[in-house]
Amino acid sequence: MRAAVVEAMGRPPAPTEVPEPRRRPGEALVRIGAAALNPVELHIWNGHFFDGPPRPPYVIGLEGVGVVEEGERLAPGTRVRVEFVHPGYGRDGAVAEYAVAPEEPDASDRASQASVAPIGDQLDDTAAAALGVPVFTALMCLERAEEAGASLEGAHVLVIGATGAVGMVAVQLAKLMGAARVVAAGRNGERLKRALSLGADAAVELGDGLAPGELRDRFAEAAGGRLDVALDPLWGRSARAAIDAITREGVYVSFGQAASPVAELSGIPLRNRRVTVVGHSGAWATPEDRRTALARAFELAGRRGAALTLDTDEIALEQIGDAWEWLSRSAGRKLVVKP
Ligand SMILES: NC(=O)c1ccc[n+]([C@@H]2O[C@H](COP(=O)([O-])OP(=O)(O)OC[C@H]3O[C@@H](n4cnc5c(N)ncnc54)[C@H](OP(=O)(O)O)[C@@H]3O)[C@@H](O)[C@H]2O)c1
């Protein structure tokens, strides 16, 4: 079969002919219809992921949608979503014609966590593959803010990285969860316009030259005098500015460090305004947690008569080299491979 294979550390994935994977007891063999690319693939590939360098050769791909060919409990023909939290640490991923994953995930196998679960047929393969990680991540970050004491009902929410996949979904979900005002922040002006069209009330451009104080003022002004929750995949300068802009008892949620691995923070918001700083990593959730978060997000959207939207580009497996390059430049659209 054809698969996108990383042959050696630092070598981009390439379309490669490999043996079809064999199903072991308790696993399902799935014919993949579409597999989405996520930035964490790059962190795994370049050895910066917190589990350390992967073990090539491996097939990339955290998530995909397809049809069961052979299963233990799952009948052939069942439409499923497959998930490999960290392909490359002993398991192959989803960017291939076929993939295998356990029907009953082993939660103790954290490094390569893999699972397969039936899904409905409301979305086509491409949309179902695209609306996986970004949807449960955005929902879990917003719920994390609630767990930390924020109420989203009537809240003013800042979504940093709103030009990216998680941010674009977070804008939509924040509104569906009751936010009164959502501010989208990002570098790409065109994508910020898209965030506005999907429900954001205001946008802030993250100009490179802005000092944290200027950025804080822009966040505060766009939030309309109150900022209750901020979600941030960037860390660094924007974390400082967001935490400084958050008003009393508000919550900041970090879910990435795309801009910088470190941030210089002031303690004043934590002491004087009782701002809470928390983080979220889907990698530490269980497959069940992620699956139910996905279901909750779609259930919420359905109840409100809304459809979660993500601009998506389909690419062929043979284009994986270009796609890898686009992913590393944060192309602004979700990339979905059709193997
Ligand atoms: N914690 C978790 O469970 C979890 C789950 C999913 C994703 N993540 C992380 O969250 C981040 C976003 O994921 P995604 O799927 O939304 O990715 P994406 O679609 O590629 O979007 C990346 C976002 O980060 C912004 N960005 C990247 N580098 C930047 C920089 N140096 N300065 C300012 N902005 C920068 C991009 O802005 P432009 O549009 O201007 O390029 C865009 O808004 C990634 O770092 C990813 O690893 C974490």
List, for residues 141-158, the tens digit of each pLDDT value: 999 999 999 999 999 999
Q: How far is the CA of 134 from the centre of ligand 1 (A)?
A: 10
Q: What would the 3-class secondary structure string for the chain be?
A: CEEEEECCCCCCCEEEECCCCCCCCCEEEEEEEEEECCCHHHHHHCCCCCCCCCCCCEECCCEEEEEEEECCCCCCCCEEEEEECCCCCCCCCCCECEEEEECCCCCCCCCCCEEEEECCCCCCHHHHHHCCHHHHHHHHHHHHHHHCCCCCCCCEEEEECCCCHHHHHHHHHHHHCCCCEEEEEECCHHHHHHHHHCCCCEEEECCCCCCHHHHHHHHHHHHCCCCCEEEECCCHHHHHHHHHHCCCCCEEEECCCCCCCCCCCCCHHHHHCCCEEEECCHHHCCHHHHHHHHHHHHHHHHHCCCCCCCCEEEEEHHHHHHHHHHHHCCCCCEEEEEC
Q: How far apart are CA 16 and CA 46, in angstroms?
A: 20
Q: How far is the CA of 190 from the centre of ligand 1 (A)?
A: 16
Residue 3, beta-bridge partner list = 16, 96
In the chain, domain spans: 2-131+310-338, 134-282
Q: How far is the CA of 186 from the centre of ligand 1 (A)?
A: 10
Residue nearest to atom 39 of ligand 1 (CA): 163
Q: ω before 87 within 30° of 0 (cis)?
A: no
Q: How far apart are CA 84 and CA 307, in angstroms?
A: 26
Residue 112 pLDDT: 65
Residue nearest to atom 31 of ligand 1 (CA): 259
Q: How far apart are CA 134 and CA 310, in angstroms?
A: 9
Q: How far apart are CA 306 and CA 73, in angstroms?
A: 33
Residue 215 pLDDT: 96
Q: How far apart are CA 76 and CA 330, in angstroms?
A: 37
- Point out the ligand 1 atom lying closest to the alpha carbon of residue 42: 47
Q: How far is the CA of 272 from the centre of ligand 1 (A)?
A: 30
Residue whose pair of structure tokens reads 């992620």 in the numeric block: 290
137: left (phi over 0), alpha (psi -120 to 50) or beta: alpha
The residue whose CB lies within 8 Å of the most ligand 1 atoms, and thus the one to mutate among 85, 86, 144, 234, is 234
Residues with CB under 6 A from ligand 1: 38-40, 133-134, 137, 161, 163-167, 186-188, 191, 206, 233-234, 255-256, 258-259, 280-282, 330, 332
CATH number for the domain running over 2-131+310-338? 3.90.180.10
- Point out the ligand 1 atom lying closest to the alpha carbon of residue 187: 40
Residue 331 pLDDT: 66
The residue whose CB lies within 8 Å of the most ligand 1 atoms, and thus the one to mutate among 187, 254, 312, is 187
Rounded to 5°, the CA angle 277-113-104 comes to 120
Residue 107 pLDDT: 67
Residue nearest to atom 28 of ligand 1 (CA): 258
Task: Decide: 333 and 311 in contact? Cβ < 8 Å.
Answer: yes
Residue nearest to atom 23 of ligand 1 (CA): 164
Residue nearest to atom 29 of ligand 1 (CA): 259
The CATH architecture that domain 134-282 belongs to is 3-Layer(aba) Sandwich (3.40)
Residue 98 pLDDT: 98
Q: How far is the CA of 233 from the centre of ligand 1 (A)?
A: 6
Please name which of 94, 48, 132, 37 lies closest in space to residue 324, comparing C-alpha atoms: 37
Packing angle of the helix pair 287-303, 133-147 (nearest 10 deg): 90
Q: How far apart are CA 47 and CA 144, in angstroms?
A: 28
Task: Decide: 258 and 264 in contact? Cβ < 8 Å.
Answer: no
Residue whose pair of structure tokens reads 């009953």 in the numeric block: 104
Q: How far is the CA of 23 from the centre of ligand 1 (A)?
A: 34
* Tens of pLDDT, residue by residue, the chain (339 residues): 999 999 998 899 999 999 999 999 999 999 999 999 999 999 999 988 888 889 999 999 999 999 999 999 999 999 999 999 889 988 999 999 999 999 987 766 666 688 999 999 999 999 999 999 999 999 999 999 999 999 999 999 999 999 999 999 999 999 999 999 999 999 999 999 999 999 999 999 998 888 889 999 999 999 998 999 999 999 999 999 999 999 999 999 999 999 999 999 999 999 999 999 999 999 888 888 999 999 999 999 999 999 999 999 999 999 999 999 999 887 678 999 999
Residue 110 pLDDT: 65
Other CB atoms within 10 A of residue 192 CB: 21
The residue whose CB lies within 8 Å of the most ligand 1 atoms, and thus the one to mutate among 110, 136, 141, 163, is 163
Q: How far is the CA of 69 from the centre of ligand 1 (A)?
A: 34
The residue whose CB lies within 8 Å of the most ligand 1 atoms, and thus the one to mutate among 44, 50, 205, 255, is 255
